[in-house]
Amino acid sequence: MEFVAVTDRGLEDILLMEAENLELAPRRVPGGIAFTGDWHTCMKANLNLRTAVRVLVKAGSIFATKKREFFNKISRLWDDSWPVPGSFSATSEACKIYHTGILTQQAKKAIGSEEGGPKMVIRGFKNTFDIYLDTSGDPLYKRGFGKLRVPGALAENFAAALLLAAGYTGDEPLLDPFCGGGTILMEAALIASGTPPGFRRSFAFESWPEPSGMDFSGLRTGYTPRTPPHPIIGLDREEEAVATATVAQSELGIPGIQVYGGDACSIRIAGLPRHGLVASNMPYDRLTRGEQRIYSCFGERLRDRLRGWRVALIVPDDRVRMKLLRQKFTQRLKVSNHGIPVVMAIGSGTGN
Ligand SMILES: C[S@@+](CC[C@H](N)C(=O)[O-])C[C@H]1O[C@@H](n2cnc3c(N)ncnc32)[C@H](O)[C@@H]1O
């Protein structure tokens, strides 16, 4: 079977690296990666890919230039081994059937639809229509814990991408001085403890006709978790954020996470290690004087109290904030977070 794991724009190379490490033998495709395998491969990908948003399985390909032809071929393709979809989406590029509404309407007419069924994704190119089903269900960044969110919360797959791009493995201390609800801290704890990100949730395909009787317990439990060997420290000046991160931490149940109330411009944490990775999604509202002050004073902290720490920050892609931070970044990854163009900026730290 053929699978496609899709992710957000800008994260494809990190997803590729993850899939290579999982030995999925992936190749880059627009919007993500493709790989082949069986339902166990599907479980492995859903369970372990930290930066993917969903995993699609290809049900088949149809060549059609007319509505009726598409209807007949998709009817023949759909046997009892596939579930009835619950929703439909389509794209069409250089196809005679260019109206995507016609494609979804014909697919629905031919196969039917059932509430709660998986999403069907039809991708047409030059009159060939690849028909996919979403095996994941809820997007994979919904990890199944930490459902309380703070304003500006980062999606889990972005938090994981920042850490993976910075080469974080858990073998060094981690500090997020603008931790909000703690998304980066929780992803760090998952990585540092060797826990698959999907360990707390199920995936849509597990109840489909063909894979439903299969035993995936080996994949679900086949990892050896460790206690993170270094502290994972979060700081936020808002009480509500500290409370949210504390709840997420206890839901996750991985030891080693410390959450404090405090200001990133002072960073007063007793026993703070002398080196590690500072990983943060910085505040980016309007660039008021208050926000300018945060960028310049936090930049100073990076140069004095956090001298020696590596740095990985998500910041808006603008010159003013970068100038205020006064950091040397060696890697810049352009991504879009909630529609805001931002950059994952990674540096070795000013003291190194
Ligand atoms: C963009 S949010 C971080 C969201 C977080 N990554 C998450 O996923 O929940 C920025 C956070 O920085 C905090 N913050 C703003 N200025 C701060 C400061 N000077 N010191 C500490 N925290 C600050 C805000 O309270 C907010 O929670």
* pLDDT, tens digit (0-9, with 9 covering 90-100), for 67-98: 999 999 999 999 989 999 999 999 999 999 99
Residue 313 in contact with ligand 1 by CB distance below 6 A: no
Tell me the whole-structure pTM to 2 decimals: 0.95
Cα 193 to middle of ligand 1, angstroms: 25
Give percent above pLDDT 90 in the chain: 86
Q: Which band of pLDDT confidence, cut at 50, 70 and 90, is reported for residue 285?
A: confident
The rounded distance, in Å, linking the Cα atoms of 113 and 109 is 8
Place of tokens 């858990």: 170
Place of tokens 């039917």: 112
- The backbone torsions φ and ψ at residue 311, rounded to the nearest 5 degrees and listed phi first, read -130, 135
Q: What is the mean pLDDT of residues 25-42?
A: 97
Report the CATH architecture of 156-202+224-347: 3-Layer(aba) Sandwich (3.40)
Q: What is the mean pLDDT of residues 173-194?
A: 97
Cα 206 to middle of ligand 1, angstroms: 37
Residue 283 in contact with ligand 1 by CB distance below 6 A: yes
**Mean pLDDT for all residues in the chain:** 94
Distance from chain centroid for Cα 245: 19
| pLDDT beyond 80 at 34 | yes
Q: Which two tokens stand for residue 279?
A: 């990983």
Residue 187 in contact with ligand 1 by CB distance below 6 A: no
Q: What is the mean pLDDT of residues 156-169?
A: 98
| Strand order across the 174-176 sheet | 257-261, 232-236, 174-176, 277-281, 310-316, 340-347, 331-337
Q: What would the DSSP string read from start to end of 55-72?
A: EEEEEEEEE-SSHHHHHH
pLDDT of residue 352: 43
Q: Which two tokens stand for residue 246?
A: 């504390």
CB neighbour list of residue 331: distance below 8 Å, 6 or more residues apart: 165, 344, 345, 346, 347
57, 54, 53, 49: which is closest to 16 by C-alpha?
Answer: 49
Q: What is the mean pLDDT of residues 147-168?
A: 93
* Residues paired with 134 in a beta bridge: 56
The rounded distance, in Å, linking the Cα atoms of 297 and 286 is 17
The rounded distance, in Å, linking the Cα atoms of 76 and 107 is 11
Domain with CATH 3.40.50.150 in the chain: 156-202+224-347
35, 312, 18: which is closest to 140 by C-alpha?
Answer: 18
Q: Which band of pLDDT confidence, cut at 50, 70 and 90, is reported for residue 350?
A: low
The rounded distance, in Å, linking the Cα atoms of 43 and 206 is 8
Q: What is the mean pLDDT of residues 267-280?
A: 92
Residue nearest to atom 22 of ligand 1 (CA): 236
Atom number, ligand 1, closest to the C-alpha of residue 241: 27
| Strand order across the 119-125 sheet | 27-29, 32-36, 2-6, 54-63, 128-134, 119-125, 87-93
The rounded distance, in Å, linking the Cα atoms of 114 and 102 is 19
Report the CATH architecture of 2-134: 2-Layer Sandwich (3.30)
Place of tokens 């991708």: 123
Cα 140 to middle of ligand 1, angstroms: 24
Positions of E strands within 94-144: 119-125, 128-134
Atom number, ligand 1, closest to the C-alpha of residue 264: 20
31, 27, 30: which is closest to 2 by C-alpha?
Answer: 27
Residue 183 in contact with ligand 1 by CB distance below 6 A: yes
Q: Among 154, 156, 157, 178, which residue has the most ligand 1 atoms within 8 Å of its CB, making it the best to mutate?
A: 178
| pLDDT beyond 80 at 311 | yes
Q: What is the mean pLDDT of residues 285-301?
A: 90
| pLDDT beyond 70 at 351 | no
How are beta strands 2-6 and 310-316 bridged, if at all?
unpaired
Q: Which two tokens stand for residue 73?
A: 């071929």
Domain with CATH 3.30.2130.30 in the chain: 2-134
pLDDT of residue 270: 85
Find the DSSP H helices in 155-214. Answer: 156-165, 183-193
Residue 153 in contact with ligand 1 by CB distance below 6 A: yes
| pLDDT beyond 50 at 19 | yes
